[in-house]
Amino acid sequence: MSAGIDLENVCCDFGSFRAVDNANVSIEPGEFFSFLGPSGCGKTTILRMISGFIEPTQGAIKIGGRDMRGQRPNQRPTALIFQNLALFPLMPIWENISFGLEVRGVDKKTRRKKAEELLELVDLAGAADKMVSQLSGGQKQRVAIARALAVEPSVMLLDEPLSALDLKLRQHMRAELRTIQKRTGVTFIYITHDQGEALAMSDRVGVMSQGRIQQIAGPRDIYNAPINGFVAGFVGENNIFDGSIGAVADGIAAFDTPYGPLRARVLDKPQGQKLRLYVRPEHTISAAKKGTENSIPVTVSEVSFEGAFISVMTHSADGKVLTAEIRNDGSATVPDIGAKLFASFDAARAALLPDANVKG
């Protein structure tokens, strides 16, 4: 029932603008796959190409191994959930859900029964005869999911469906979507610009920038082992150092910076690209004692309490801002503003990365 999707060298041009540049992805049947990126990165274009509203300029899109070129959206085994849901306001809920069956010529009684089953699946039993305008945001969301599931698609495509909901509901719907996906086993392709959403729900994430897929990996690898500066920056905070690379030994490279020699992991053999050192604030320690390596003298400029953690903003002698995060578990003392400390990090936790993979 669920099908895999292969994007092979897919490009999409709008006039002279290349919206998607040479995308290659292989999505497994039953996988929850997210495309993550800022607006305008081409993720919605990819979704619209898979659903059939746009034809790729080059390359092939295969669903379940079948080339989809020339297939209209109504001929593809996909169901799209729109950002604004696009429910039909003039039909009651059950007709909304069974619309896909209605166009397939299913009789009214069967349709009604199917709609009620699906409403049960999305925890909305009893809403069949309501109108769309009578439902809350979260309920509309569920109706949209039920409507898409009604046609028994092999692939569900979701275009930022949670962006219109408030924070609490969004977090609840994340778990809900995940549950529905596991229960139905349908392949989900999820588009979002919210890295939290992508990391929390997906089996794998494809991070995009300027029409190119930067990295495809599981959520942990995306966060812990980003392959370039764009990915590192998009999924979390970083302290970044400019410098020049020195000798490499056991995957750890020496990195010469204005703040002294630092050491960090290096992924591949550096090929003359400009590299920067990235380290996450939660891997940066602010301590009174100088560490054995990667230690920079700093002054605390601001301490902000975030609840689960405490963010310590510091600056070096020449004004470079470095942020360290302390877990709010009482184990570490919170420094005072103006305190002279050392910001340190473990070489294994820091990485030398190139900038984003972009055109030209």
Partner 1 sequence: MNDLIRRYGVTITALMCLLVAFWLVMLVIVPNITLFEQSFRPYLPVVDVGGPKDVYSLGNYAKVFDGSIERSIFGYTYIIPVHVMTFGLTIWYSIVVTVACFALAYPLAFFMAKIANPKSLPTLLLLLFIPLWVSEVLRAFAWWIILAFKGPLNALLLALGTIDKPVRWIVDYDGVVIGLTYTYVLFMLFPIYNAIQSLDTNQIEAADDLGAPWWKIHWRIVLPHAKPGIASGCVMVFMLSAGSLLVPSILGSTTSQWFTQTIDQWFKDALDWNTASAYAFILLLLCTVFVSIALKVFNVKLSDIAK
Q: Would you tell me which residues interact with partner 1 (CB under 8 A)?
A: 51-53, 72-75, 78-80, 82-84, 86-88, 90-91, 99-100, 102-104, 147-148, 151
d(CA 205, CA 195): 10
d(CA 331, CA 325): 13
Other Cβ atoms less than 10 A from the Cβ of 87: the count is: 20
Q: How far is the CB of 22 from partner 1 (least distance, A)?
A: 26
| Shorter beta-carbon distance to partner 1: residue 107 or 329 | 107
Q: How far is the CB of 161 from partner 1 (least distance, A)?
A: 12
Q: How far is the CB of 349 from partner 1 (least distance, A)?
A: 44
Q: How far is the CB of 71 from partner 1 (least distance, A)?
A: 12
Q: How far is the CB of 51 from partner 1 (least distance, A)?
A: 6
- Pick the closest to residue 58 from 23, 26, 17 (CA basis): 23
CA 201 to chain centre: 9
Query: Would you say 139 and 127 are in contact if contact means Cβ atoms under 8 Å apart?
Result: yes
Specify the amino acid at residue 19.
A
DSSP annotation of 97: H
d(CA 352, CA 254): 10
| Shorter beta-carbon distance to partner 1: residue 53 or 305 | 53
Beta bridge partners of 3: none
d(CA 353, CA 273): 9
Q: How far is the CB of 252 from partner 1 (least distance, A)?
A: 51
| Shorter beta-carbon distance to partner 1: residue 12 or 222 | 12
| Shorter beta-carbon distance to partner 1: residue 24 or 75 | 75
